[in-house]
Amino acid sequence: MKKGLRWKLILTLGIVGLALFLAYPPGKKINRGLDLRGGIHLVLQVITEDAINIDTDEEINRLRDQFQKKNLTSTSIVKGRIGQITIPGTIPDQEGAVRDLLDENFRNWDYVFVGATATLTMKSEVQMYLRDQAVNQALETIRNRVDQLGVAEPTIQRQGLSGDRIILELPGVDNPERVKNLIKTTAVLEWKLVKAGPAADEQALLTSFGGTVPEDAQVVKGDPKRTSGGFYLVERVATVTGKDLRVVRRATDEWNSPAVSFSLNPEGGRRFERVTGENIGKQIAILLDDKVISSPTVEDVIPATSGGIIRGRFTIDEAEDLVVLLRAGALPAGIKYLEERTIGPSLGADSIRKGLSAGIAAVLLVMAFMVIYYRLAGVNAVTALILNMVLLFGALAYFRAALTLPGIAGIILTIGMAVDANVLIFERIREELLTGKSILNSISTGFSRAFTAIFDSNLTTIISAIFLFQFGTGPVKGYAITLIIGIAASMFTAVFVSRLMFDLTVAGKKRKDKMSI
């Protein structure tokens, strides 16, 4: 054997061996996409305006404080459009002082004075930062929640680098509805003292306050599922919030119904102790996302270290979900679903079965054709095709690319397309043979002259597959990947390996005047 051939043979066997090692056993090494294993695919959007609104609210409070401190007067400070604050009715001779204040302490804001009205606009880079933060925090919170749920191998990622969309892939989830609700809940938990309520409507609620909501209070609704409904008047400032929680567990109350027990961090515990001590006999409302889930009456002072329980007519699952939510923390902004795809495991199993039978049929058809039409050379092509499949699976395993149903279609298509290179070469060799050239000569010119066409045609297929990859979502991406890998592998197997096989067989033969092609 010639030295060059030996090295080529070793290289080929090495690569094929590596691919086999990577891909075997395929059941374990090849990652199945959601459409084949079943699961949920969700695209959600973080409502980033929420983050800007929250920040604006905080800034308004700060402004009010500072106005008071500096003895500035203003009729009101109100929120305008998103990221805007207006201060109407600034007394003209105060303008300088207000400007100084804004310059000094509110550098995140641009401001203009028109007449007596000052308008503050949040700087766009600050807005962008807040939006970006909101998405990152939401991503983190959702990841925590999914981890708490114990979903195996979840994919949670941001769509694009700066978008407000998050893509979630959760394989093998039994109860998609529950997971969807769990992820979507903002989960801001607050304890607020009740000033009045519950009442059937707002008017009844406010009778003892002269029909208007006091400055330091707000009207909230009772969650119809958890309470008897109705309206509550509660303090604006929360006594403790979800951020003060330290340990959260599912528990049962004294009547053995599901509940959630909690303990507080030292600071929150002290506040809780003081407020409960001062308000014995009053109700304290527990609000989840601004809805009252229960409003127990304070019977005694609750010591800082003892914690308590949250009741809310929970089922076991609901109590468990609340635990997950409280442990994972609140979302910084609201969330909206844009796309939901749930695939049951049965459909995935069925797809694999059908994909497999289509694949086997395709392989057999193509192989039979090649062997019948090209005889021994056909066997050569078939070997190249098998190696192509081995390399394809090896590469899929190596890149951890998910195999999807369209991906299976891509593999099947590759079977049909990969033999193209062999066909091009064989037809050229036949032509060369017909002109009366020797076998060795025909093989070598056949390969070299077919190569440009093979290269150009495969490259264009890869170009279009790359555009497909750019555009695609999950399953289509899987398709583009298998097509790209399959075509690239076919360049190696159909050109390099196939040539090697020809060279090996021809080199071993004594009579070199007949060729089976």
Partner 1 sequence: MLQIFQKTNIDFMKYKYLAFALSGTIILAGLANIIFGKGLKPGVDFSGGTLIRILLKSPLPVADVRQALNEQGLGNSVIQEVDKGQQEYIIRTAGLKRDEIQAEQDLEAHEIIGNRIVETLKSAEDKASAEQGLIDFNNAGVKEITAVLQPAYPDEAASLAERIINFRVEKGILEDFGMLREAGISDEVISVLKDRTFLGSLTVLSRETVGPQVGKDLRRKATQATIWALVGMLVYIAARFKLAYGVSAILTLTHDVLVTLSVFSFTQREINLPVIAAVLTIVGFSINDTIVVFDRVRDNIKMMRKSPFEDILNASINQTLSRSVITSGTVFLTVIALYLFGGEVINDFAFTMLVGVISGAYSTIYQSCPIVYFWQKIFGTGRRVRR
Positions in 428-447 near partner 1 (CB under 8 A): 430-431
For 120-143, letters b (16+ CB in 10 Å) and e give bbbeeebbeebbbebbebbbebbb
- Count of helices and strands (H, E) across the chain: 15, 17
Report the distance separating Cα 484 and Cα 52, nearest Å: 43
Residue number with CB closer to partner 1 (18 or 423)? 423
Residue number with CB closer to partner 1 (145 or 180)? 180
Note whether 460 binds partner 1 by CB under 8 A.
Answer: yes
Please state the closest distance from residue 162 (CB atom) to partner 1, in A. Answer: 16
What mask of x and - would describe binding to partner 1 in positions 83 to 122, judged by CB under 8 A?
----------------------------------------
Edge-to-edge order in the sheet of strand 308-310: 245-252, 258-264, 308-310
Please state the closest distance from residue 52 (CB atom) to partner 1, in A. Answer: 18
Note whether 317 binds partner 1 by CB under 8 A.
Answer: no
CA atoms within 13 A on the CB side of 53: 9
For 198-233, letters b (16+ CB in 10 Å) and e give bbeeeeebbeeeeeeeeeebebbbbbeebbeebbbb
Please state the closest distance from residue 57 (CB atom) to partner 1, in A. Answer: 22
Note whether 322 binds partner 1 by CB under 8 A.
Answer: no
Note whether 12 binds partner 1 by CB under 8 A.
Answer: no
User: Token pair of 246, please?
Assistant: 């330290």
Residue number with CB closer to partner 1 (86 or 351)? 351
Residue number with CB closer to partner 1 (117 or 516)? 516
Helix axes 124-149, 49-69, angle to 10 degrees: 120
Interface segment toward partner 1; rule CB under 8 A; list 24-32, 293-301, 424-432, 438-446: 424-432
Q: In the set 198, 312, 355, 446, which binds partner 1 (CB under 8 A)?
A: 355
Residue count (the chain):
517
Q: In the set 459, 507, 509, 512, which binds partner 1 (CB under 8 A)?
A: 459
Please state the closest distance from residue 55 (CB atom) to partner 1, in A. Answer: 23
Interface segment toward partner 1; rule CB under 8 A; list 50-58, 91-99, 347-355, 392-400: 347-355
Please state the closest distance from residue 345 (CB atom) to partner 1, in A. Answer: 5
Size of the site for partner 1 (CB under 8 A): 77
DSSP state of 494: I
Q: In the set 179, 483, 494, 500, which binds partner 1 (CB under 8 A)?
A: 483
Q: Which helix (H) or strand (E) holds 5?
A: helix 3-23
Please state the closest distance from residue 263 (CB atom) to partner 1, in A. Answer: 29
User: Token pair of 440, please?
Assistant: 């060795």
Please state the closest distance from residue 175 (CB atom) to partner 1, in A. Answer: 7
Phi and psi dihedrals of 92, rounded to 5? -50, -40
DSSP state of 283: B
Residue number with CB closer to partner 1 (61 or 175)? 175
Q: In the set 5, 91, 365, 506, which binds partner 1 (CB under 8 A)?
A: 365
Q: In the set 7, 21, 209, 373, which binds partner 1 (CB under 8 A)?
A: 373
Q: In the set 261, 329, 345, 504, which binds partner 1 (CB under 8 A)?
A: 345
Note whether 480 binds partner 1 by CB under 8 A.
Answer: yes
Report the distance separating Cα 153 and Cα 34, nearest Å: 11
Please state the closest distance from residue 407 (CB atom) to partner 1, in A. Answer: 10
Binding to partner 1 (CB under 8 A) within 324-343 occurs at 336-343
CA atoms within 13 A on the CB side of 261: 11
Q: In the set 124, 207, 357, 448, which binds partner 1 (CB under 8 A)?
A: 357
For residue 198, whether the previous peptide bond is cis, meaning omega lies within 30 degrees of 0, is yes
Closest Cα partner for 391 from 61, 11, 19? Answer: 19
Binding to partner 1 (CB under 8 A) within 154-183 occurs at 174-176
Report the distance separating Cα 42 and Cα 338, nearest Å: 8
Q: In the set 419, 485, 488, 500, which binds partner 1 (CB under 8 A)?
A: 419
Binding to partner 1 (CB under 8 A) within 21-40 occurs at 35
- Residue pointed to by tokens 């909501």: 213
- Report whether 487 contacts 385 (CB < 8 A): no
- Report whether 483 contacts 410 (CB < 8 A): yes
Q: In the set 456, 508, 511, 513, which binds partner 1 (CB under 8 A)?
A: 456
CA atoms within 13 A on the CB side of 113: 14
Q: In the set 475, 485, 500, 501, which binds partner 1 (CB under 8 A)?
A: 475
Note whether 465 binds partner 1 by CB under 8 A.
Answer: yes
Please state the closest distance from residue 424 (CB atom) to partner 1, in A. Answer: 6
What mask of x and - would describe binding to partner 1 in positions 388 to 417, judged by CB under 8 A?
-----------------xx-xx--xx-xxx
CA angle 156, 158, 160 (to 5 degrees): 145
Interface segment toward partner 1; rule CB under 8 A; list 61-69, 248-256, 472-480, 493-501: 472-480
Closest Cα partner for 390 from 5, 4, 21? Answer: 21
Report the distance separating Cα 109 and Cα 102, nearest Å: 8
Binding to partner 1 (CB under 8 A) within 260-299 occurs at none
CA angle 314, 317, 323 (to 5 degrees): 80
